[in-house]
Structure 1
Amino acid sequence: MDKKHRNIDKKIISFIPDGEFYYQKGIKAMQRERYDDAHKYLQRAVELSPSDPLILMQYGILIMEEGMFEEAYEILAAAHGIDPEEEDIIFYLAEVHAHLGLLRDAKVYAEKYIALSPDGPLVDDSMEIIDFAEQEEDIFDDEEMPDGEVYFLQEKARRLMEGGLFDEAIEILEAIIVDYPEFWAAYNNLALAYFYVGKIDQAKELLYDVLDKNKGNIHALCNLAVFYYYQKDKEELDALLDLLLKIKPYQFIHRYKLGATFALVGKHKEAYGWLRSLKKRGFEGDAGYYFWLAHSAYFSGNETAAKEAYEKLVELDPSKAGLEPWKSVQETSRADSFEQDREFLLSKIMNKYRSERLLGFYLLGKSAHKQEIISHPKYIDLEKLSSIEQLFLAHSLDYEFTLETDFDHSFMRALETTDIIYKNYKPLDKQGTHLFQMWFTLCEVALTRSYDFRNPDALAAAADYMFQSSRYKGVTKTAIAKSYGISVPTLTKYVHTLMEFLPQFSE
């Protein structure tokens, strides 16, 4: 019996899956066209056998076929580093460079494959890569053909920035501009990274330097416009926008940059013109392109085009489903209402007074600009928000609240009161914003004092009466009480209650 158990133990131990096990399962899944399973198995094989060049190569091929060329390059380059003489790895390095437009490097690897394996099965494919690269070399100057190493360093830095790892991106980009002092794309991305970490003067100086050495650099001009926009430097921004409006670039990348920049600073008609021109010419954009195309189309009155663009965005990034700019807009809202005024919203969200920020966070949930604003890394810093601000922001982002404490219940009633006021004043005109500014001043103090907001209808009526009676003649408690469905004594009671929350100013 003991011998039998020992044999079973040996079988169990010998069956612990290794990289080769998952590699074989991945190959079988690919043969059966079960690509999701193949991806899962090969990814696991790489985790278990990170030093096996053939496993790395096969995973890189699969990643490349999925269209993730930068990631495929990194995997294939790692495989090549382990086995520099493996012909198949060299061929697929040629192929991935060709996909990325790095044709000089693609040609080098294709020629190397032929030299190592003149009768190999991939010689014809290698010759096609060489022919294509040579044709393109006749069209582009040498300096227009990007160098592979700097390209991938640049892409790595860009992905770090997209993930919010700006300090790591800065380290890579600073190294690039030392080794490649005329690689202007690195300067532009470094300027953006500096800006996002708060080194604003350093960011602008870098762009001034680019424009001094490479006059008319469209990316530098656009980035500078964005910086002026965030800093509310209207004079400099207007002058730069006047210049950008006169530029008529031919290249896709420059049209894209102009379109995205115009969209970001609120010139939606101009943005839509440039971004639409790309689509007409067969440009296959990324998620960012369709995001700005949808927004610029919607805010310039082209709703059908906006919806088509957003459908494409959701195909590329399913997480954007339900975040369409028009989803947050109230049916009765107007394009000229304050909920749809991006500058007004940003002025509230980034205001130095908390009550003003509360107003901004509340209205954000009613605005077509919601997704655009919350997606930007500079507009909202969650770590600096108070718990009350976080709650109003969470409400605008459609979070579901779990009511556990007395404060949780008080907050929900405060929110209900706010919704009642909004229902009576939407879409907001100037008068409505003044009422809300008063209400959030009272609401902030009441929440900090743990007030329970027991009667939302009465509180809404009281706030409305206090606002109207201080500005207009002939406002009666009877009329206000009737419009909110409460009695005059109840209104009077809650007016006195709210008066206790008026800010106290010292002499």
Structure 2
Amino acid sequence: MDKKHKNIDKKVISFIPDGEFYYHKGVKAMQRERYDEAHKYLQRAVELSPNDPLILMQFGILVMEQGMFEEAYEILAAAHGLDPEEEDIIFYLAEVHAHLGLLRDAKIYAEKYIALAPDGPLADDSMKIIDFAEQEEAFFKDEEMPDGEVYFLQEKARRSMESGDFEEAIKILEAIIIDYPDFWAAYNNLALAYFYVGNIEPAKELLYDVLDKNKGNIHALCNLAVFYYYEKDQKELDQMLDLLLKIKPYQFVHRYKLGATFALVGKHKEAYGWLRSLQKKGFEGDAGYYFWLAHSAYFSGNEQVAKDAYEKLVELDPSKEGLEPWKDVHSSVKPESYEQDREFLLSKIGNKYRSERLLGFYLLGKSGHKQEIISHPAYIDLDKLSVMEQLFLAQSLDYEFTIVNEFDESFLRAVQATDLLYAEYKPLDKQGTHLFQMWFTLCEVGLQRAYHFRNPKALAAAADYMFQSSRYKGVTKTAIARMYGISPQTLTKYVNELIEFLPHFNQ
């Protein structure tokens, strides 16, 4: 008995799975179409046998079949480096380049396979790749067919930018434009990287240089529009947008760029036109495409398209769930209301009068533009806001308040009165905005004078009565008091208190 157990233990201890073991398990899983399982096994096989070109090739084939073509290229390129004469690796390099649209390189690798294995099992497929590449080449200018090496360097830089490593991206892109001085995409991305790290003037100079040497470059024009937008240079932005509105590109990538740019700067109707046109032609975009389509669709009144696009976005990027542009917007608020008018909000937030800024901060919490505006680096400077403004902004962002003193209590009651007025007038039309402009004038003075705002319902009713009675005949205190559930006597009391906060002008 003891001897038998000893032999079993010896066999168990001596079996250590190697790369070959996981490779065979991965191949079997692929044959059974269990691709997630195959991916796990082959990834482990590569970890254990990183210098086995055939294991790397098989993993690259699987990754390519899963649609991850850039990752597949890197794996297959590594396998090719280990065994430059292996015919199958060369064929799959041809195939992955074809999937990536790098047809010049796809043709080179396919021709190399034919030269090495003219009667090989993949010779017919290689000829198909060659034929396809030759047919497509007829539709492109030579400079539009990127070299494989520069393409992947560009993609590496793009991934660095997406992860926030702009310095690494700058290093790669600067090297690209030295070796490939006519590769304009690298210049455009380098300009973006410069801009993101604060080198604004070099970024713009780079784009001017692109436009000087490659006139009408749509990506450079759009990037300049974005720079002017973030710098709040409205004059230059308007001129650039006038030019972009005249451009009618054919290629998908240019339509996408135009649509995303228009959406970012708030031209949602124009953005929706371009982005929706791509979808109608069968374009399958990335997460960024569905993000901008959802926003431009929602703010141009196409709510169902917006919701369908955002659903697709969440499938591609689950982290975006809960950040829908309509998330914090009441169902009765329409996209064309003042709460959803981005330029109106910005005019209030940047107004020279504090009462107007208070109105802007309050309405920001009701707007689908909230995330966009608070994330903009130039719109709100917290260090320059008064305590009152900071509180209204915090209230819009749904911060929880800790009551420390009487001012805090007064502020929260003032917000309650504001909410009651908003409930009566939402969605805001022009008349509603005039009421709120008056109310925030009263509110600012009241908070300055340490007014307690003790009865929010009566204060809302008083403000409503003051506004309506100054504009319309036949407005009675009895009717307004009934609307807010208070007595006419109480309404009169609070009207008299609020009148003291109206501005007095010298005669």
Is the TM value for this pair above 0.5?
Answer: yes
Match of 1:298 in 2: 298
Distance 1:394 1:238, change over 3 A: closer
Distance 1:484 1:11, change over 3 A: farther
Mapped to 1, the partners of 2:30 and 2:442 lie a distance apart of: 62
Match of 2:215 in 1: 215
Q: Is the 8 A contact 1:359 1:440 kept in 2?
A: no
Distance 1:242 1:460, change over 3 A: same
Mapped to 1, the partners of 2:419 and 2:371 lie a distance apart of: 21
One-letter amino acid of the structure 2 residue matched with residue 224 of structure 1: L
Distance 1:156 1:26, change over 3 A: same
Q: Is the 8 A contact 1:324 1:371 kept in 2?
A: no
One-letter amino acid of the structure 2 residue matched with residue 60 of structure 1: G
Match of 1:254 in 2: 254
Distance 1:459 1:63, change over 3 A: farther
One-letter amino acid of the structure 2 residue matched with residue 136 of structure 1: E
Q: Is the 8 A contact 1:438 1:467 kept in 2?
A: no
Q: Is the 8 A contact 1:362 1:395 kept in 2?
A: no
Match of 1:52 in 2: 52
Match of 1:430 in 2: 433
Cα deviation, residue 25, structure 1: 3.0
Q: Is the 8 A contact 2:328 2:367 kept in 1?
A: yes
Q: Any residues of structure 2 matched to 1:149-168 within 5 Å, and which? A: 149-168=149-168
Cα deviation, residue 245, structure 1: 1.6
Cα deviation, residue 345, structure 1: 4.6
Q: Is the 8 A contact 2:26 2:41 kept in 1?
A: yes
Mapped to 2, the partners of 1:44 and 1:148 lie a distance apart of: 28
Match of 2:109 in 1: 109
One-letter amino acid of the structure 2 residue matched with residue 34 of structure 1: R
Match of 2:369 in 1: 369
One-letter amino acid of the structure 1 residue matched with residue 26 of structure 2: G
Cα deviation, residue 2, structure 1: 7.7
Match of 1:505 in 2: none
Match of 1:172 in 2: 172
Mapped to 2, the partners of 1:57 and 1:430 lie a distance apart of: 65
Q: TM-score, normalised by structure 1?
A: 0.76
Cα deviation, residue 347, structure 1: 6.6
Identity of aligned residues (%): 75
Distance 1:83 1:229, change over 3 A: same
Distance 1:344 1:43, change over 3 A: farther
CA deviation map 1:147-188 (0-9, x unaligned): 111111111212222222222212211111111111111111
Cα deviation, residue 101, structure 1: 1.0
Distance 1:84 1:444, change over 3 A: farther
Choose 189-198 or 366-375, whichever is displaced more. Answer: 366-375
Match of 1:332 in 2: 332
Match of 2:68 in 1: 68
Match of 2:36 in 1: 36
Q: Is the 8 A contact 1:268 1:300 kept in 2?
A: yes
Choose 1-10 or 302-311, whichever is displaced more. Answer: 1-10
Cα deviation, residue 48, structure 1: 4.0
Q: TM-score, normalised by structure 2?
A: 0.76
Mapped to 2, the partners of 1:390 and 1:6 lie a distance apart of: 74
Q: Is the 8 A contact 1:191 1:207 kept in 2?
A: yes
Cα deviation, residue 218, structure 1: 1.1
Match of 2:273 in 1: 273
One-letter amino acid of the structure 2 residue matched with residue 24 of structure 1: H
Q: Is the 8 A contact 1:196 1:377 kept in 2?
A: no
CA RMSD of aligned residues (A): 4.9
Distance 1:356 1:22, change over 3 A: farther
Distance 1:442 1:332, change over 3 A: farther
Mapped to 2, the partners of 1:173 and 1:235 lie a distance apart of: 31
SS of 1:164 mapped into structure 2: coil
One-letter amino acid of the structure 1 residue matched with residue 152 of structure 2: F
Q: Is the 8 A contact 1:268 1:297 kept in 2?
A: yes
Mapped to 1, the partners of 2:153 and 2:52 lie a distance apart of: 24
Q: Is the 8 A contact 2:439 2:463 kept in 1?
A: no
Of the two, which has the highest radius of gyration? 2
One-letter amino acid of the structure 2 residue matched with residue 100 of structure 1: L
SS of 1:139 mapped into structure 2: coil
Choose 6-15 or 90-99, whichever is displaced more. Answer: 6-15
Q: Any residues of structure 2 matched to 1:496-507 within 5 Å, and which? A: none
Structure 1 unaligned residues grouped into runs of 5+: 446-452, 497-507
Q: Is the 8 A contact 1:418 1:460 kept in 2?
A: no
One-letter amino acid of the structure 1 residue matched with residue 46 of structure 2: V
Query: What is the count of residue pairs matched by the alignment?
Result: 487
Mapped to 2, the partners of 1:364 and 1:247 lie a distance apart of: 33
Q: Is the 8 A contact 2:461 2:484 kept in 1?
A: no
Distance 1:12 1:183, change over 3 A: same
Cα deviation, residue 144, structure 1: 1.9
Q: Is the 8 A contact 2:365 2:397 kept in 1?
A: no
SS of 2:138 mapped into structure 1: helix
CA deviation map 1:128-151 (0-9, x unaligned): 111111222233232221111111
Distance 1:461 1:73, change over 3 A: farther
Distance 1:331 1:64, change over 3 A: same
Q: Any residues of structure 2 matched to 1:399-438 within 5 Å, and which? A: 422-423=422-423, 426-428=426-428, 429-431=432-434, 434=437
Structure 2 unaligned residues grouped into runs of 5+: 471-475, 498-507
Q: Any residues of structure 2 matched to 1:129-168 within 5 Å, and which? A: 129-168=129-168
Match of 2:503 in 1: none
CA deviation map 1:405-441 (0-9, x unaligned): 988x999999878756654554354356557867998
Distance 1:20 1:364, change over 3 A: farther
Cα deviation, residue 465, structure 1: 6.9
Choose 3-12 or 281-290, whichever is displaced more. Answer: 3-12
Distance 1:178 1:2, change over 3 A: farther
Mapped to 2, the partners of 1:84 and 1:165 lie a distance apart of: 33
Mapped to 2, the partners of 1:352 and 1:368 lie a distance apart of: 24
Match of 2:226 in 1: 226
